[in-house]
Structure formats: structure tokens, C-alpha cells
Amino acid sequence: MDDCIFCKIVRGEIPCFKVYEDRKVFAFEDINPVSKGHTLVIAKRHSQNLWEIEEEDLTSVQLASKKIALAIKKALDPVGIACMQLNGRGVNQMVMHYHLHLIPRSADEPELTLTSWELRKGDMEAIKKIAERIASAI
């Protein structure tokens, strides 16, 4: 897509710190890192989100994310890696080109806010009804 920032990065029109590339996938460092080693993994072919991405591209991104996560583990020795992926402006997706965030946390870094939400016991009847609605929509 002509005016997509991540498509421009794939085409080399915007510089980036690349960590991985194959026929279908491209991965580079986030310029506003949440932590050391915050990496974005994208399919080279443009699609906006999980609803749109072709299965083949999604598979390629997931398989590459394992390779890159292993490399992050080897290079940075994090205590964990969070994988996060946003779909839609309502959950603050800012770049409308599907991307998987790999967010490692090193021992000397603070707890990641995105992985430390408060657990509150749910209403089992309400959860059951929601599960039924989702299941019947598949």
C-alpha cells in the first residue's frame, strides 16, 4: 500500500533496524520500545489486521516469531517475552498493517503494564452465554 508506513519500511523507503527477513516476513525494532528488544514482526504483503490477513501470511509471521523469539532469548536473556497484537482503533492499533509485537522483559526492567492486569472473578453465567454466542458464530 502506497501510504502505509510499514509497507514503506519493507520497500526500504523508510529506514529501520531490521532483525529478520524472508520471502514473506520482515521484522524490525520498534522505534518507541516498551522494553529492550521490542520487535515488530510483519507480513510483507499488506493487510490491516487479524480479520483480513491471509492464512499463509499469518502462518509465516507466527513461524518467524518463534525464530526471532529464540534469537531474543539467546541475545538478551530476558525473563520472559510477551506477544501482543492489536486489531482496530478501539484497542489503540496505530499502524494499520498487521504486526505482532514481541516484547521481552529483562530482569533489570520494570514489570510490563500490559502483562500485569488485575484478576477479578467473573460472572460464570455471563461468561457461559458469551462463550455460546462466540461458538455459534464460528
Residues involved in catalysis: 99
What's the alpha-carbon Rg for the chain, to the nearest Å? 17
| 99 touches Zn ion by CB under 5 A | no
DSSP 21: E
| 95 touches ligand 5GP by CB under 6 A | yes
| 31 touches ligand 5GP by CB under 6 A | yes
Look at residue 109 and give the partner it binds from ligand 5GP, Zn ion, none, a contact being a CB closer than 5 to 8 Å depending on partner kind: none
Among 13, 74, 90, 94, binds ligand 5GP (CB under 6 A): 94
Look at residue 5 and give the partner it binds from ligand 5GP, Zn ion, none, a contact being a CB closer than 5 to 8 Å depending on partner kind: ligand 5GP
Of residues 93, 71, 104, 114, the one with CA closest to residue 4: 93
Look at residue 97 and give the partner it binds from ligand 5GP, Zn ion, none, a contact being a CB closer than 5 to 8 Å depending on partner kind: Zn ion
39 burial via Cβ count (<10 Å: 0-12, 13-18, 19+): buried
User: How many Cα atoms within 13 Å fall on the side-chain side of residue 72?
Assistant: 30
Q: Is residue 38 within 8 Å of 29, Cβ to Cβ?
A: yes
- What does the binding site for Zn ion look like in residue numbers (CB under 5 A)? 1, 4, 6-7, 46, 97
